[in-house]
Structure 1
Amino acid sequence: MGNPIVIGIDAGGTMTDTILVDQDGHFKIGKSATTPKNEAEGFLASAEDAADAWGISLESLFSGVNVVLYSGTGMLNTLLSRTGRRLGLITTKGLEDMILMGRGLQAWADYSYADRLHAVTHHHPDPLVPRRRTHGVTERIDQFGDIVLPLYEHEVSAAAKKLIADKVEAICIMTIFSHVNPVHEKRIAEICRAEVDKAGADIIVYTSHEVRPVIREQSRLNSVLIEAYATSRGRKQLKGIEDVSKKYGFKYGVQTLLSFGGLTSINHPRLHETMISGPIGGILGAAYVGKLIGNDSLICSDMGGTSFDMGVITRGQTRIENEPLMDRFKLNVPTLHLDTIGAGAGMILKVDPLTKKVSLGPESAGSDPGPICFDRGGTEPTIADCDAILGRLNPYYFLGGKVVLQVEKARRAFQEKCSDILGVGVEEAAEGMIDMLESDA
């Protein structure tokens, strides 16, 4: 085999996978635990595992490749587990409750048919910005882009000062019809940045006309909120991966996948368009494999530690959605059709001691601290612990034997926090929770 020319990375919430490919199509794979605090560490460990399988050093690997392609769901996992930035919102007066009201389709998205029959159990998506950090300001631009009401700048200054005092990490701005005429959004951003500078705060200001200048204010608002909420950490992680690649001799820039299947630099200004780059790469790969085996209609799925993703390929084609749903949020981002739910092996299991109601997630144990059976400090039972308890995982050959699963430790914690409360045996409770996960998927 010749030297690899492509490094492909898929960083999930729990594991990071690397594939090396040479010019003739020969390949080797590597795997390592994801390191959420610094994904570059997990990437380097995974790349080293693949390089060892190829029989070359990291220096020889990185200095010889032409492409390093990153894909993953780190930003999506940030959204699913609600661990993103602390946001504030300034919008047109009268639209302050838009986040809570949502759209009818968005409000019932991802609910099963049974749940839709019982409105009493209905739960709107948790807002990324609570009502107390949402401020309306007087202004109005009509559908033709004409100013109907001038911007009341003193209201903007007051709102910005309140958000700064509330210690937000980012301020989002969305005014109605800003995609036609963004003059008010631009001025609001100028005032906010001036107030931020005056306060000496470290706050980034986002405007909807820069992130997604298209019609429909609800999905435009969702897009700017998710860009502000989830991509900051992702951008920093991607820069770390590029830095460590160049440290070992890589000569070019790291690339990632857009939601509609194209390639882009990690410096892409609208990074939320790459939020599901891992599953998108999976769909493209499945379509290619389908051509090789002579089957042009496929269903492909990806279950990780945090999310479960599914795509469909029909007659060799993948459908593109202009307003996809992402964790029950409608976005204005062209995306290969993909269904994603928070249902991964790392989902934390909870049982209410009073009602005995079982909840799956949305939090995920990830790889740090990880499931209890990983013995890395995790204390909350997960689906992976259920799999270990039921013997579905080989405790002595997990991650190629690099991790020995502590099944008894997981069993004791699961019994205390789940099965004893439910009043059933450990195995019965574990199997029931896996059944719940599979029925959701």
Structure 2
Amino acid sequence: MMERVSVDIGGTFTDCFLVWGDQYVSAKALTTHQNLALGFNAALGQAIGQLDLSLEQVMGEVDSVRYATTLGTNALIERRGPTIGVITTAGFESSVPLSRGRGYGEGLPDRFRKDLPMAQRPEPIVPIPLIAGVRERLSEKGEVIMALDKEDVRSQVRKLVDRGAQAFVVSLVNSVVNPAHELRVEELIRSEYPEHMLGSAPIILAHLVAGRKGEYARTSSAIVDAFLHKAMYLGLSTLELNLRDNGHERPMQVVHNSGGMAQLNSTDALQTLHSGPVAGIGASEHLAAETDLGNVVCSDMGGTSFDIGLVVEGGVKFYDFNPVIDRWMVNIPMVHLVTLGAGGGSVARYDRLRRTVAVGPESAGSDPGPACYDKGGRDVTVTDADLILGYLEPDNYAGGQIALSEKRATSLFQRNIGKPLDIDAVAAAKLVKQKVDNDMANGIAQELRARGYEPANFTLLAYGGNGALHACGIADAIGIKKVLVPPFSAIFSAVGAGNMDQLHIHERSVYLQIYDSVTRALLSDFDGFNAIVEQLEERGRQDLVRQGYAEDEIEHRLELDMRYGNQLAQTAVVVGQNRITRNRELLELIALFGRDYGKRFGEGSQAPEAGIRINTVRVASFVRAPKLAFSKVLPDPETLRPAPEPEVRKFCHFIGRDEPTDTGFYRLDSLSPGHVVEGPAVVISESTTFLVEPGWRLSVGEYGAGWLERQDIIGEAE
């Protein structure tokens, strides 16, 4: 019997999902930034209260407590971190400040990235005076060209300490091939400044954070990791101590942005960034497999942002191998995620240049929040538009916790947008809804078509607090005809945290010509290739054994970053077997790479005449964990029946209709699995609102799930 607690700690709310046997319970509480444990305890208290259990009983019996968190993301945005000193190879001190020459644009919206005359680099985490070069040099093969000068290292470390360094990053050229010099620098820092002098100043070695070459991105990875180390250590340690105080003796688990999880003592701060949205994609993958949905677009619409991910039938995973975190490129493998500045709190304004409306990326946040919160906010938002159009109940928003002021929203909408456009507030609200739905639809379309997919072949999975409210509008704009609002949609990322496998990814940069176009020879050093794979498997094995897992539970997945010749475009290939022992297996790998490359860039674009090489060897080591059962989420077609009459009817405004439309309002808890609600309709739950737009119908599933279909395809499907 599964008994598990999973938590997603966001900037505003802490979401909790409790699995107790065959009972699933969700709860929310405000995040308490001064002590994360207080918000966790409040959310868990709500959940166990629904099952009439005691805290001691739950904490003593659950098999695991799993956390996904935006703690690191918020600390990076707010620039809350220690003063960092960087030690690099002499002559390479400018690698980070120059940031490949394109650092001014990384992490910015397109319109700012293209504005070269006004380009401004981000305020550096590590200013130039805190970057020190030491005399040493390794070749690209890891051979010692210049031995490490120990006295020079001691001198540079003293300078950094005198300038206020509270943490150290050691990133030496080619250390991913031979880490000996980085390890020696760590020893010298420890001997020069033992803990009783500087305290527990963290020393981050770049080769342990990122195993691929690329000096700028690797150093940036280590810098971000060091910058977040203290905030993550204090925040997560507080949570772990709280578990101990309440009787939970098992190790705390932390979700990683690689799509897995690990114990706190095996987690780098950098691995926790964006772990909440990544957990949602993990839940989507599991749900899609259990319900045979096929291809799925994951869309998480919260108060501030709209996150997009892809789950493709056949198990193809999409990773970013050089993701941009805030304003810095790093080179850790992270589940691919696109974030748009579009959410319920996104600010709507009059665009004077185009004489229309613009939405986001700025957000009104939760304080003062949208104008309708009546907390003094003077900006109008998407939530204000939804209220004016009639989709929200002013006295029953967020389970009745927030009373909305329609009068204030209408007044400010008229002043900020209606007056400049010479239209009334309702027409302005329609423009805002249409604009934000189109922006989100365009983001999805761009993501799909860049990878060669058609939106019509996908189901939209809509979750987050505002996902069910805008799902039909997004789907209409993009040509998607089926939408699933998953169970527990408002806390779906917390649900995903409960489904993660224990996983570690290790990788190493290599330069392997598996086909040399000049000599027309295939790779012959199979032993050398297999030795690299074995080393990476051993690192993953040690990680998992250290956390208490038996060796026979551990599995490994081999991935290779491959390219034709010197092309910049490379493709990650998931290899079916972890060793190559003969030419036939090598030719099968080449054929697999060619098929994957053709799917991505178009059949016929393959260029084996340029040679084929491997740039990165990557091994994912994991232990499978029991998963939640979602096989009965979709409504059974045999049980579909009309819903009872709505509790109340109101007039709502919809895009494409000049006159207000009579709309039925339902309570989700008054509907049962199999009930069918014809649009237009609004279905309200304690945590979200389903908007069934004209031309759509909603079929209610288990655990509050909703299956939305365009009515013009229902006859075809039947």
Give the TM-score taking structure 2 as reference length. 0.51
Partner of 1:238: 236
Partner of 2:31: 34
Q: 5+ unaligned residues in a row in structure 1: which ranges?
A: 351-357
Q: Report the CA distance between 1:208 and its aligned residue.
A: 0.9
1:184 matched to 2:181: yes
Aligned counterparts of 1:334 and 1:374: Cα–Cα separation in 2: 41
1:301 matched to 2:296: no
1:37-67 superposed Cα distances (whole Å, 9 cap, x missing partner): 2211111111111122223232232223222
Aligned counterparts of 2:385 and 2:75: Cα–Cα separation in 1: 29
Aligned counterparts of 2:438 and 2:97: Cα–Cα separation in 1: 29
Q: Which amino acid aligns with 1:172?
A: V
**Which of 43, 50, 53 does residue 53 from structure 1 map onto?**
50
1:175 matched to 2:158: no
Aligned counterparts of 1:169 and 1:395: Cα–Cα separation in 2: 50
Aligned counterparts of 1:255 and 1:161: Cα–Cα separation in 2: 37
Aligned counterparts of 1:232 and 1:405: Cα–Cα separation in 2: 39
Partner of 1:226: 224
Label 1:258 to 1:87 Cα distance change in 2 as closer, same or farther (>3 A): same
Query: Is the Cα contact below 8 Å between 1:78 and 1:84 reproduced in 2?
Result: yes
Aligned counterparts of 1:21 and 1:241: Cα–Cα separation in 2: 19
Aligned counterparts of 1:120 and 1:433: Cα–Cα separation in 2: 33
1:59-110 superposed Cα distances (whole Å, 9 cap, x missing partner): 2322232221111222123223433333221211222221222236765445
Partner of 2:5: 7
Aligned counterparts of 1:283 and 1:191: Cα–Cα separation in 2: 43
Partner of 2:328: 329
1:119 matched to 2:138: no
Classify the secondary structure of the residue corresponding to 1:185: helix
Label 1:170 to 1:104 Cα distance change in 2 as closer, same or farther (>3 A): same
Query: Is the Cα contact below 8 Å between 1:10 and 1:18 reproduced in 2?
Result: yes
Query: Is the Cα contact below 8 Å between 2:37 and 2:238 reproduced in 1?
Result: yes
Aligned counterparts of 2:436 and 2:162: Cα–Cα separation in 1: 43
Label 1:396 to 1:409 Cα distance change in 2 as closer, same or farther (>3 A): same
Classify the secondary structure of the residue corresponding to 2:298: strand
1:264 matched to 2:259: no
Q: Which amino acid aligns with 1:276?
A: H
1:91 matched to 2:88: yes
**Which of 162, 165, 185 does residue 165 from structure 1 map onto?**
162
Q: Report the CA distance between 1:391 and its aligned residue.
A: 6.4
Pick which of 26-35 and 339-348 moved more.
339-348
Q: Which amino acid aligns with 1:249?
A: G
Partner of 1:319: 317
Aligned counterparts of 2:394 and 2:405: Cα–Cα separation in 1: 7
Aligned counterparts of 2:54 and 2:286: Cα–Cα separation in 1: 30
Label 1:113 to 1:238 Cα distance change in 2 as closer, same or farther (>3 A): closer
1:77 matched to 2:66: no
Aligned counterparts of 1:402 and 1:4: Cα–Cα separation in 2: 32
Aligned counterparts of 2:328 and 2:167: Cα–Cα separation in 1: 19
1:225-259 superposed Cα distances (whole Å, 9 cap, x missing partner): 12111243223322222222232232312212233
Aligned counterparts of 1:374 and 1:48: Cα–Cα separation in 2: 30
**Which of 210, 214, 217 does residue 216 from structure 1 map onto?**
214
Pick which of 12-21 and 156-165 moved more.
156-165
Partner of 2:668: none
Query: Is the Cα contact below 8 Å between 1:9 and 1:18 reproduced in 2?
Result: yes
Classify the secondary structure of the residue corresponding to 2:271: helix
Identity %: 27
Q: Report the CA distance between 1:390 and its aligned residue.
A: 4.9
Number of equivalent positions = 423
Structure with greater strand share of residues: 2
Aligned counterparts of 1:281 and 1:259: Cα–Cα separation in 2: 8
